[in-house]
A and B are shown apart, each in its own frame.
Chain A
């Protein structure tokens, strides 16, 4: 889908200028460059979604693309649309196999989150989507990632305090993963026990979200290995159950792959109960 300002929007622009002016003062609101273009699905609605409720349950990749493309065309998106666009771009990035496209989507998601923060100040939801997109943007840039760990931690702590239930316990889940993965004390902010605790909280509050149990299993395996294999297996089983319980849309295939890969790595039973041989340790 080629994104262009529609003629109706051009006509509306002069009238919208007084409303636009405050937005022009927003330093973070300079147009994002290098947006990912989507192949136009014929079924895209002409109306941009106004809120998350306008999205179908378990949105497909095309649903997410349509919604994001729709918001891109809005002359003055509402803060709710800013937030939604940040989430849409983040979710599209999460399932995107092409690294360059993934990074462009994550950068766009971060930009939308910054817009939302300009209007909503330290809105915890905006901080969550900001950190989520930043995490994806830095996935393949370890040096930059290390430099930004403190910023991500601050954003996620505020999100976890303000909206712990957003995205199925997302702030707790992502902050937990951050503490497990970050360079450990005293070199960095990493704290495996704090991370495991947050992931357990996420599972308790939102057992319905498959990634809570998956990331708890992943953290347990990475931190304590063989000694907690049964716990890893139980959490992987819970993740599979949650994944199968409803339609998760675009990201579900990647989640399934992640769950299967960890099951194989840890040598725990797959869905049919067949034990998987542990993976050989990969060369560093």
Chain B
């Protein structure tokens, strides 16, 4: 589970619906492309958090339901069914922002609301991204090629330049790198900062570091929600980590808070996406 999967589970709880409309079942879609969590394993956590939110927010039990997937194609399918709210990747949001998705909140982790991506190699094996072209690139973050090409590499390279070996197991990719089975691994900030727990961390080095990329959070589907619902939801979400029980979830996943966001937080990314 990487940073995204951690707060995906927390965000799953933060649906806010006016009490008057509580009889209507609302849907939250959780898309976690490239993740290793099975939907049946994610369900108990998401359901427990949804129930917690219903209880603490004064909504009827079972007002909310969720659909979880780690498959990018299935995410597209779930989103085509027009849920009320969704947790999607930044890549998905940028591709579908014109479809009426409104960002509501993003997590803050270790004081940051951004992620940074790095390409790791064995020390001394390669000096630059350009020198890696034609070689193998592994990791858990390769399921959205356009995102990597446009946002992470900013056009300096494309996934098509590499022999891509995606996996859902970050450790497996790093071990393969250490054992010379692959030449490089794309990691996010949390994975990079956790390398110290691996015995072979000193054998690896980063040859590419991306600019900070804003973390994506939860979006509302405008056609399915009213402005009031979105506002109420945003408020509940931003208060979630301060709540006694919600705090337990947040602490468990290292999330300090959820901060309100809007379209403008992603303006820079939209420019890169074009």
Q: What residues of chain A have their CB less than 8 Å away from a CB belonging to chain B?
A: 140-143, 146-147, 181, 183-188, 190-193, 222-223, 281-284
Known: A143-B248, A184-B171, A185-B170. 11 other contacts (CB 8 A): A140-B44, A143-B48, A185-B197, A186-B170, A187-B2, A190-B1, A223-B36, A281-B39, A283-B67, A284-B30, A284-B46
What is the CB-to-nearest-CB distance from A149 to chain B, in angstroms, rounded to a whole number? 10
- Chain B residues within an 8 Å CB radius of A282: 39-40
* A193 / chain B contacts, CB cutoff of 8 Å: 169, 171-172, 175
B43 and A284 form a contact (CB under 8 A): yes
In the bound complex, how far is the Cα of B37 from the Cα of A181, in angstroms?
A: 8
- Which residues on B sit within 8 Å (CB–CB) of A146? 252
A142 touches B48 (CB 8 A): yes
| Number of A-B residue pairs having CB atoms within 8 Å of each other in the complex | 76
24 A-B pairs with CB atoms under 8 Å apart are: A142-B48, A143-B45, A143-B248, A146-B252, A184-B36, A185-B170, A185-B194, A185-B197, A186-B170, A186-B191, A186-B193, A186-B194, A186-B197, A187-B190, A188-B1, A191-B171, A192-B171, A192-B172, A281-B39, A283-B39, A284-B30, A284-B40, A284-B46, A284-B66
Residues of A close to B48: CB separation below 8 A: 141-143
* Cα-based distance from A184 to B46 in the complex (angstroms): 17
Least CB distance from B37 to A in Å reads 8
A222 to B191, CA, bound (A): 22
Chain B interface SS verdict (over half): helix
In angstroms, Cα B194 to Cα A191, docked, is 14
Residue from the list B68, B191, B249, B252 in contact with A284, Cβ < 8 A: B68
Inter-chain CA distance A284–B39, complex, in Å, is 5
Measured in the bound complex, the distance between the Cα atoms of B169 and A103 in whole Å is 32
User: CA separation between A191 and B199, bound complex, in Å?
Assistant: 14
Minimum distance in angstroms from A250 CB to a CB of chain B: 25
Report if B41 contacts A (CB, 8 A).
yes
Contact of B36 among A140, A142, A147, A192 (CB under 8 A): A192
Complex-state Cα separation, A222 to B70, whole angstroms = 12
Knowing A222-B38, A281-B39 are in contact, say whether A186-B67 is a contact too (CB < 8 A).
no
> Is the CB of B273 closer than 8 A to any CB of chain A?
no
> Quick one: which of B1-60 are within 8 Å of A by CB?
1-3, 5-6, 30, 36-46, 48
Given contacts A187-B1, A187-B2, A187-B5, contact A281 B69 (CB under 8 A): yes
Q: How far is the CA of A22 from the CA of B125 in the complex (A)?
A: 64
Q: Which residues of A contact B42 (CB under 8 A)?
A: 284
Report the bound CA distance from A66 to B36 in whole Å.
43
Report B160-217 residues with CB < 8 Å from chain A CB. Answer: 168-172, 175, 190-191, 193-194, 197
| Docked complex Cα distance between A222 and B40 (Å) | 11
Report B-chain residues with C-beta under 8 Å of the C-beta of A140: 44
In the complex, which residue of chain B has the Cβ closest to the Cβ of A190?
B1
A222 / chain B contacts, CB cutoff of 8 Å: 38
Q: How far is the CB of A185 from chain B (nearest CB, A)?
A: 5
Ranked nearest first, the 9 interchain pairs of A and B with the lowest CB-CB distance are A284-B68, A186-B194, A284-B39, A183-B1, A187-B1, A142-B45, A142-B44, A283-B67, A185-B171
Of the candidates A141, A184, A223, A283, which one forms a contact with B1 in the assembled complex, judged by CB atoms under 8 Å apart? A184
Judge if B253 is at the interface, Cβ distance under 8 Å: yes
A257 nearest CB across to chain B (Å): 15
Residues of B within 8 A of A184 (CB): 1-2, 36, 169-171
CA distance A253 to B193 in the complex (A): 46
The 8 A CB mask of B135-177 against A (1 = contact, 0 = none) is 0000000000000000000000000000000001111100100
Q: Is B130 an interface residue (CB 8 A)?
A: no
Give the docked Cα–Cα distance between A281 and B6 (Å).
Answer: 22
Name which of B30, B41, B169, B249 has the most chain A CB atoms within 10 A of its CB. Answer: B169
